[in-house]
Amino acid sequence: MKLEQLEIKSRRREELIDVTGPVQKYIEKAGIRDGIVILYVPHTTAAVTINENADPDVTRDILYKLQKEIPQQDGYHHGEGNSDAHVKSSIIGASTQVIVADGRLLLGTWQGIYFCEFDGPRTRRLQIKAISD
């Protein structure tokens, strides 16, 4: 399956952006019935994760805890002033994968896919690649 790039525009320095819908549309457009979709973030200050998408307090809590444990200013040596974003990206991770079954992302009832911005606002890319059975 062809590699697709989803353009994501963040509005804040840190935010979790629900990309479940666009990823599902990619699956439908590609005609994938069964397989795996791989999601990859080619940025060192952003990430991708799967978590609850029913209650917006969950994403707020995730950002709150990350900000508390990894503050923006903490005596870092990196000169750009975004070391916290690099650390958060490494902890969350630059990639994830989701099983596709019967043309649908096989996510749990409350799960969604989130692009994690830690050094915005910016225009970013999420690369999507499906492997079909």
Q: What is the pLDDT of residues 16-75, one digit of tens each?
A: 999 999 999 999 999 999 999 999 999 999 999 999 999 999 999 999 999 999 998 878
CA atoms of 17 and 108, how far apart (whole Å): 18
- Asked whether 131 and 67 are in contact (CB, 8 A), the reply is no
CATH of the domain at 86: 2.60.120.460
Residue closest to 9 by CA, chosen among 1, 21, 23, 19? 19
What pLDDT is recorded for position 1?
A: 67
Query: Total domain count for the chain?
Result: 1
In this model, does residue 132 exceed pLDDT 70? Answer: yes
Name residues whose C-beta falls within 8 Å of residue 22's C-beta, 6 or more positions apart in sequence: 6
What is the per-residue pLDDT for 32? 93
* Torsion sign across C-alpha atoms 96, 101, 104, 109: negative
Domain limits for position 22: 4-132
